[in-house]
Chain A
Amino acid sequence: MIETLDANAAREMMRSVAQSLIDQTDVLTEADLTIGDGDHGVGMRRGFEAALEALDAGAAESAEAAYKAVGTAILSNTGGAAGAVFGTLFRAGSKAFAASEVIDDASFAMALEEGLAAVLKRGGVTEGQKTMVDALAPAARAARAAVGKGLAAATAAATQGALDGVEASKAMIATTGKARSVGERSIGYPDPGAISVSLILKAMQDFTARA
C-alpha cells in the first residue's frame, strides 16, 4: 500500500491514470454513442495522450505541478465540454497539494472537493442532471469520509462512490449537454463523463494498492 505520494510518485500515478484512460477509449466511445454523439472516448484519449507527453517532458517538481500539468494538457487538447470540465477538475484540484506538497488521504479528498466546486461553477450544473458531477460528488464525499484511513483506502472509497454515482446516473434524465435532447430516452444508460470519473479514480486506486 502507498499512503503518501511525493512529486515523483504523484507523476507516476498520473501517468498510470492517463494510460488507463487511453486504454479504455472504446468503452467511453460506446457509452457516449448511446446518449451523446460518440466522441467522448476520442476526446479523452487526445487529452490524456497530451497529458502523458507533458508528464514526460518536465521533471516532477511537485505533486501540484504533476496534477496541474494533466489538467492543462486536457484543457488544451481534449476540446469540447469534456476538455473544459476535466481540465478544470485537475487544474482546480491541484491547489489542494500546494500546502501539503504530497498526495495523502487528506489532500486527495480536498483535491476532489476543490475540483468539484470548480466544475459545478464552470458548468453551471447541479447533481442529478446526468453529468460527470454525479460520479464526482459522491466520490468526493466518500473520500472525505475516509480521511484518516490512508490514501489507499481513500482512493478505494472514492472509486466506490464514483461507481455508485455511475449506477445512479442510469436512472437520471439528462437535462444539460448534448444528451439533453435525448430526454427520457437517456434513462437506463450511465453518463459517459461519470464513467470517466470512475476510471480515473479506479486507476488511482490500483496505483495506490500496489505493494
Chain B
Amino acid sequence: MIEGLALANDGRVYKLDGKPALIRKDIPDGKVALLIGGGSGHEPLFHGFVGKNMGDGAACGNVFAAPSPDVIAAAAKAVHRGKGVLFLYGNYAGDNMNFDMAVELLEDDGIEVRTVRVCDDVAAAPPERMHDRRGIAGDIYMIKVAGGAASELDTLDEVERVARKAQGWVRSMGVAVSAGSIPETGKLTFELGDDEIEVGMGAHGEAGIARQKLKSADAIADELMDKILADLPFARGDEVALMINNLGATTMMEMLIVNRRIRAILEREGISVHRTDVGTWLTVQEMAGFSVTLMKLDDELKHYLDMPAESLGYSRM
C-alpha cells in the first residue's frame, strides 16, 4: 500500500527504506518539519497528506494501530532540517504512547520535538475533558493549518502556537449507518441493524454515544449540529470552515443533502462559512456514514488553511 502510495505521488514522495513511512522529497533546508501519522485504514489520512504546505512526512501503522516508536523516530529524522519537528496526530492511547517513546528516542539524538494532538470529537468526552477526546476529521484541517504554518514560520514555537490555536477551535462529530471492518480478521467493528445508526462513533469503529433508529439526513444533521454548536467556542458573527467527511461508503449526493441542512442551521445561528470541503479524507474501512467538522477562523488560520496544498489526498489550490 505504501509503495503504491509513493508511486501515486509521481516522485514527490518516497518510502523510507525498510520502514512504513512516507517522506516528502523536496523539504527545504532550515524548515520547521511537520510529522503526521497514525494507523492505516483511514485513507487518504494520514499518509495521503504528505506534500508541499502539508505534512513533511507520515509514520504509518498497521490498520487501526499506531506506528511503532522506531518508525516514528526514523521518519522524524528523515524530515528534520535543523529547526525541530512538530508531531501532529490523533489523540489515542496507542498513538500517544508510541509517539511519546519516539520523542524520548529523538531527545537522545538532540532533535527537538513538540507534540499537538488532535482532539476534536465532541461525542468522546465533555468540554472540560477535551484532552480525553479522540481525533477524527479535524485532523485534516489541523494538518492543513500546521502544514501552512510550518512552511512560512521560522520557529518550532510559532508553528506549535498556530497548531494549538487550531486545536482549540476545531470540533467534529460523526454518524455511521453501517459498520466498518478489519481486513486481517474480516470482522465488522460492530453489529448494526439495517434500520439502525450509531451516533458519535470513533474513527476505528469504536461504539458511539447512542444507537438509534434510522432517520432522515436532515434529522441526523440536526442532531450532530446540536451537539457541535453547543460545544463551539463560537458566537454570532464568527466565521468557520466546514468539512463534511465521507467515512467510506457514503455517496456525494447524501453528503450534499446534509450540507444543505447544515448551512441552514449555521445561517440561523449567525455563523458564516468561509469555505466548505465535502469529500473523502478520513475513512473507516467500508463504513457508511459521515462526519461534520467546524473550525472557527481568524485571519491567521484562514491564511494557512487557504494556502495551496499539494498532496495525493488533498490538493485544493
Residues of A in contact with B (beta carbons under 8 Å apart)? 29, 33, 36-39, 41-43, 46, 75-85, 122-123, 176-182, 185
**Interface flags, B11-41, vs A, CB<8A=1, else 0:** 0000000000000000000000000000100
Residue of A with least CB distance to B63: A39
Q: Which residues of A contact B200 (CB under 8 A)?
A: 181
Q: A33-B187, A37-B189 are in contact. Are A83 and B205 (CB under 8 A)?
A: no
Q: Cβ of A79 and Cβ of B204 under 8 Å apart?
A: no
Residue of B with least CB distance to A182: B207
Q: Does any Cβ of A come within 8 Å of B93's Cβ?
A: yes
How far apart are the CA atoms of A178 and B93 in the complex, in Å? 8
Q: Which residues of A contact B123 (CB under 8 A)?
A: 181
Q: Cβ of B97 and Cβ of A84 under 8 Å apart?
A: yes
Q: Cβ of A38 and Cβ of B97 under 8 Å apart?
A: no
Question: Which of A77, A83, A122, A180 is within 8 Å of B66, CB to CB?
Answer: A83
Known: A79-B68, A79-B94, A181-B209. 7 other contacts (CB 8 A): A33-B189, A39-B63, A43-B62, A76-B70, A81-B92, A123-B97, A181-B123
**B120 CB to closest chain A CB, in angstroms?**
14
B interface majority secondary structure: loop
Q: Which residues of B contact A123 (CB under 8 A)?
A: 93, 97
Q: Does any Cβ of A come within 8 Å of B202's Cβ?
A: yes
Residue of A with least CB distance to B200: A181
Q: Cβ of B182 and Cβ of A81 under 8 Å apart?
A: no
How far apart are the CA atoms of A42 and B41 in the complex, in Å? 15
Question: Which of B68, B134, B204 is within 8 Å of A78, CB to CB?
Answer: B68
Residues of chain B in range 177-224 having any CB-CB distance to chain A below 8 Å:
182, 184-185, 187, 189, 200-202, 204-209
Interface size, chain B (Cβ < 8 Å)? 37
Q: Does any Cβ of A come within 8 Å of B286's Cβ?
A: no
Q: Cβ of B208 and Cβ of A181 under 8 Å apart?
A: yes
Q: Which residues of B contact A182 (CB under 8 A)?
A: 206-207
How far apart are the CA atoms of A88 and B185 in the complex, in Å? 26
Question: Which of A37, A178, A179 is within 8 Å of B182, CB to CB?
Answer: A37
**B160 CB to closest chain A CB, in angstroms?**
21
A interface majority secondary structure: helix
Q: Cβ of B184 and Cβ of A42 under 8 Å apart?
A: yes
Q: Cβ of A178 and Cβ of B65 under 8 Å apart?
A: no
Q: Cβ of B204 and Cβ of A37 under 8 Å apart?
A: yes
Q: Which residues of A contact B65 (CB under 8 A)?
A: 39, 43, 78-80, 82-83
Q: Which residues of B contact A42 (CB under 8 A)?
A: 182, 184-185
How far apart are the CA atoms of A39 and B62 in the complex, in Å? 10
Q: Cβ of A85 and Cβ of B207 under 8 Å apart?
A: no
Name 8 interchain pairs, CB-CB below 8 A, sorted by A.
A29-B185, A33-B189, A37-B204, A75-B70, A77-B68, A84-B101, A180-B132, A185-B207
Q: Which residues of A contact B124 (CB under 8 A)?
A: 180-181
Q: Which residues of A contact B61 (CB under 8 A)?
A: 79-80
How far apart are the CA atoms of A80 and B64 in the complex, in Å? 8
Q: A37-B64, A79-B65, A84-B101 are in contact. Are A181 and B206 (CB under 8 A)?
A: yes
Q: Does any Cβ of A come within 8 Å of B248's Cβ?
A: no
Q: Which residues of B contact A76 (CB under 8 A)?
A: 68-71
Q: A29-B187, A39-B185, A123-B97 are in contact. Are A178 and B204 (CB under 8 A)?
A: yes
Q: Cβ of B132 and Cβ of A39 under 8 Å apart?
A: no
Q: Cβ of A38 and Cβ of B207 under 8 Å apart?
A: no
How far apart are the CA atoms of A178 and B133 in the complex, in Å? 11
**A174 CB to closest chain B CB, in angstroms?**
10
**Interface flags, B91-105, vs A, CB<8A=1, else 0:** 011100110110000
Q: A79-B65, A80-B61 are in contact. Are A38 and B185 (CB under 8 A)?
A: yes
Q: Does any Cβ of A come within 8 Å of B48's Cβ?
A: no
Q: Which residues of A contact B208 (CB under 8 A)?
A: 181
How far apart are the CA atoms of A179 and B200 in the complex, in Å? 14
Q: Cβ of A83 and Cβ of B184 under 8 Å apart?
A: no
Q: Which residues of B contact A39 (CB under 8 A)?
A: 62-65, 182, 184-185
Q: Which residues of B contact A85 (CB under 8 A)?
A: 97
Q: Which residues of A contact B204 (CB under 8 A)?
A: 37, 178
Q: Which residues of B contact A80 (CB under 8 A)?
A: 39, 61-62, 64-66, 94, 98
**B294 CB to closest chain A CB, in angstroms?**
21
